[in-house]
Structure 1
Amino acid sequence: MNQVIVSGVAAKVEHKADLGILEATLVARLSNGGFSRVRIKTLGKLTQALKDVVQEGQAYLALGTLAPRKRGEQETVEVLAYNVLPVDGEKASNERGTYLVNGVNEVLISGVLAKDPEVKAIQFNQEEGDVLTTARVAVSQKDKTAWVNVRAWGEEFSEALGNRKKGDRVVLRGRFRVHRYEKDGQAHYLPQVIVTEVLGTSGSRTKSEPQAGDLPEELPDDLF
């Protein structure tokens, strides 16, 4: 299982006809009050079909998957759309531009843990804190594997994921985001899934998923 559904007002639309690629950022405010900015990509015939359809300032719903992407020496992930549909919806604006009100940002993934999950207690201030569980999930589709960085806030997720081991299978629901951070004076971008629900865990895997022995022993912190 590897499915992404996002909606938003299109911004920064780029049509690279010579490469058969269309890229656009869909911007929306979600029902929880947070904002979603997701860069999507289309390839081949779909790009040609959407050439005169996707325009900046209009709202769209994109259906796609998390796909592996090579950026320099880094293995990262991106949202590869297989369908993009115009949608009606309320729009609003702020200092960063126009966005879709009550947009959608939902990810469903099933894969195996690339390493044991890590659970940390995070203290925001003297009175407030939370528990953060982080993991990397190998999501296989046909002959390709996307290495997905996942983060889950709250004790319920530390209990559901914290006792799982490298090679265990997990099924997760969440939302896609790209975290920007500075390292050695340079900006880095970390695609990740913020988990909102653990749909299942087990020690078994499907035939298409890598075994624990196939997974690397150590993965760099900036893999994504």
Structure 2
Amino acid sequence: MIGFIGKDPVSTTFDSGKNKTTFSLATSERRGESSVTSWHNVVCWNGLARVATDFLKKGSHVAITGRISYRNYDKDGVKHYATEILADRMQMLDRTSKDEGSPEATVEETAAPTDDIPF
């Protein structure tokens, strides 16, 4: 999905050392002469989370690839439901000046290596 960041990403580092960054993403779909905006909650982990924290900000134009996740949780006795996009790939689409230092590259979260290493 391609869209714009709704507010600055929020980063969390857990005791285990894992990093998580969340942000909202607005996507638009044209329907005739009008446009419909949808909001999505995006979650990035570890390396992708660090890149999102360092380079994304409110208004950033970005392409996200990932999978949809549905979860529920209980807060103060009330059951809540959450739908999130678990990002595994991100491409920053902003045109930036060389002075800003923001990479115009694709970043992908790679899976952990398996134990099939021959040495």
- Structure 2 length normalisation: TM-score? 0.70
CA contact (8 A) 2:48 2:88 kept: no
Equivalent in the alignment of 1:136 = 24
Residue correspondence of structure 1 range 44-63 to structure 2 within 5 A: none
Structure 1: unaligned runs, 5 residues or longer: 1-108, 205-224
Q: Residue 4 of structure 2: which of 112, 136, 139 is its match? A: 112
State yes or no: 1:168 paired with 2:51.
Answer: no
Q: Which has the higher contact order (CA 8 A, sep 6+)?
A: 2
CA distance in 2, matches of 1:185, 1:115: 29
Structure 2 distance, partners of 1:148, 1:130, is 23
Please identify runs of 4+ aligned residues in structure 1 that moved more than 3 A. none
Identical amino acids, percent of aligned pairs:
29
Q: Distance in 1 between matches of 2:11 and 2:68?
A: 20
Aligned length: 91
TM-score of the two chains, using structure 1 as the length reference? 0.38
Q: How many angstroms does 1:118 deviate by?
A: 1.3
| Among 36, 40, 44, the residue aligned to 1:152 | 44
- SS class of match (1:156): helix
Structure that is richer in strand per residue: 1
Aligned mates of 1:132, 1:203 — CA distance in 2 = 26
User: Equivalents in 2 of 1:186, 1:140: separation in Å?
Assistant: 32
Unaligned runs of 5+ in 2: 97-119
The CA RMSD measured in Å over matched residues stands at 1.6
